[in-house]
């Protein structure tokens, strides 16, 4: 039996649908002219323009994409519209020793993560233009790579790096016992800040005595600080989200927790967020003694949520640009969770703290992963997010004025001959309540039929729903 991707549940007045198929999509970014760049975990970068997808770069042979490795992040130069700044920045796992070991932190052939800059011409990136800005970020276990890239209003590049899953120095120390993020002489478990050419901003917090560059070796001498470090004490800072309406550079860090808590951190230069001593505002239960994580010694999250909620892995985040959606969304922060497949809305309260409420649910397994606001229509903004659901997609949530298109949802049943094909459209819905719906099924388009003595297969390839106001959406429904 084949089931369609679940129909997402979004608030009244919003519409959610697929933008384009992209295999194993990870990060996304937009050029000033509205093109969307989407990274694929196996190492391909795609350009999406005018409803079609083309390959801009293929790093596949040089990428390890096992476990949580791969092409993980993409950013566009803040001056991309100007000549001489047609740069795209990528975070990917480099197959340094022509091997991709996993789960063996002491293996000398482990790959490394790197951040590189490429020159873009038209819809392609020149592989020969690669300039490695940060190299040899350790990936000892395969997981906890971080991997996000974002530019602030200060035109500096911010990079999230996980703790590597297991300790690079003591292979047996994994998960809660991994204290790599405490080591200030390595890049693991940090948020980094560099200039566009890889240089160190003079305002970075660790540029004085007892500091050194870590951009080539991934580390400096023991006892020193990496000059690239902006903040430390993270487990897996999976995604960064910048506030477009802040006066200066202001952003949030979505740090994936261990067994108990997920957290959202307000970025502060030089701050220590406590991992592996703390998980959120709570002491690490697997360490002896207490360090008072609820106090002021370590910088606690502005918001945390328990795994008891059924949501256990925070992913992408995005601020709603003021004026893009109804005023109740101004200053709101949206974030996703990979385990419960939901997007939540976080709204600041007048007396301090935040109100968390569900924004979108039923997004399907495998997402959301990354999210960001991008152009929609002539002057609007929509929330775009990547997901592995449906074979890998970029999807969009937009606030609509007036009547919205209904959503068709169907399933097919495959049997051995004689062929029986049943159609169940009971999950179809109209956001505005304009019922009844008229369901149209286009059966023999691009069908697969195998007979006479073999298994017969037939898919319902196109399903359309039309409401009583004659609004019809683009094609949705199950695909083979």
Residues 275-308 have pLDDT tens digits of 999 999 999 988 877 788 988 889 999 999 999 9
Q: What is the mean pLDDT of the chain?
A: 88
Contact, 147 vs 73, CB < 8 A?
A: yes
pLDDT of residue 7: 79
Confidence check: pLDDT of 469 > 60:
no
Above 80 in pLDDT, residue 116? yes
Does 412 have pLDDT greater than 90? no
- The pLDDT, as a whole number, for residue 422 is 56
Contact 465, 474 (CB under 8 A): no
For residues 251 and 213, the answer to whether their CB atoms sit within 8 Å is: no
Q: Residue 280, exposed/middle/buried by CB under 10 A (0-12, 13-18, 19+)? A: buried
Give CA–CA dist 372/392, Å, rounded: 17
- pLDDT band at residue 463, thresholds of 50, 70 and 90? very low
Q: What percent of the chain has pLDDT over 70?
A: 82
* CATH number belonging to domain 2-399: 2.120.10.30
Top pLDDT among 4 and 196 is at 196
pLDDT tens figures, 154-170 = 999 999 999 999 999 99
pLDDT tens digits for 321-377? Answer: 999 999 999 999 999 999 999 999 999 999 889 999 999 999 999 999 999 999 998
pLDDT band at 411 (very low <50, low <70, confident <90, very high): low
Domain edges within the chain: 2-399, 407-480
pTM for the model: 0.85
For 96-110, the pLDDT digits (tens) are 999 999 999 999 999
So what's the pLDDT on residue 291?
85
CA distance 224 to 244: 34
Percent of the chain with pLDDT over 90: 77
* 462 — pLDDT class (breaks 50, 70, 90): very low
Confidence of residue 114 (pLDDT cuts 50, 70, 90): very high
């Amino acid at each position: 039996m084949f089931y369609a991707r679940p129909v997402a549940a979004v608030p009244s007045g919003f519409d959610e649908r697929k933008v384009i198929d992209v295999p194993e999509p990870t990060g996304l970014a937009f050029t000033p002219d509205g093109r969307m760049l989407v990274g694929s975990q196996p190492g391909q970068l795609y350009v999406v323009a005018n409803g079609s997808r083309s390959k801009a770069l293929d790093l596949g042979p040089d990428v390890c994409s096992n476990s949580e490795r791969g092409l993980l992040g993409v950013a566009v130069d803040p001056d991309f519209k100007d000549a001489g700044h047609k740069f795209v920045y990528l975070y990917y796992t480099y197959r340094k020793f022509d091997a991709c070991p996993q789960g063996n932190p002491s293996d000398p052939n482990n790959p490394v993560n790197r951040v590189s800059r490429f020159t873009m011409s038209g819809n392609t990136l020149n592989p020969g233009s690669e300039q490695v800005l940060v190299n040899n970020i350790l990936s000892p276990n395969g997981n906890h790579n971080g991997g996000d890239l974002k530019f602030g209003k200060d035109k500096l590049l911010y990079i999230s790096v996980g703790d590597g899953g297991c300790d690079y120095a003591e292979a047996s120390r994994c998960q809660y016992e991994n204290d790599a993020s405490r080591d200030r002489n390595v890049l693991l478990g940090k948020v980094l800040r560099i200039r566009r050419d890889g240089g160190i901003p003079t305002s970075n917090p660790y540029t004085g005595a007892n500091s050194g560059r870590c951009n080539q070796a991934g580390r400096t001498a023991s006892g020193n600080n990496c000059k690239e470090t902006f903040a430390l004490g993270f487990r897996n800072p999976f995604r960064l989200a910048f506030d477009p309406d802040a006066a200066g550079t202001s952003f949030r860090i979505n740090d994936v927790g261990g067994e108990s808590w997920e957290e959202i951190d307000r970025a502060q230069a030089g701050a220590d967020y406590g991992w592996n001593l703390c998980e959120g505002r709570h002491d690490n239960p697997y360490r002896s003694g207490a360090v008072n994580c609820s106090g002021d010694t370590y910088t606690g999250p502005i918001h945390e949520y328990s795994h008891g909620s059924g949501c256990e892995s925070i992913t992408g985040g995005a601020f709603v640009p003021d004026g893009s959606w109804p005023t109740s969304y101004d200053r709101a922060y949206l974030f996703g969770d990979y385990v419960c497949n939901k997007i939540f809305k976080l709204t600041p309260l007048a007396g301090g703290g935040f109100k968390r409420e569900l924004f979108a649910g039923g997004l399907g397994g495998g997402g959301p992963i990354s999210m960001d606001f991008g152009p929609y229509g002539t002057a609007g903004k929509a929330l775009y997010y990547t997901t592995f659901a449906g074979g890998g997609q970029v999807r969009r949530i937009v606030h609509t004025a007036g009547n919205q298109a209904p959503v068709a949802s169907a399933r097919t049943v495959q049997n051995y001959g004689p062929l029986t094909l049943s159609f169940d459209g009971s999950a179809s819905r109209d956001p505005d309540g304009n019922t009844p719906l008229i369901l149209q099924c286009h059966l023999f388009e691009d069908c697969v039929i195998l007979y006479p003595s073999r298994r017969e297969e037939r898919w319902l390839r196109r399903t359309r729903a039309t409401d009583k106001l004659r609004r019809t959406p683009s094609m949705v429904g199950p695909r083979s």
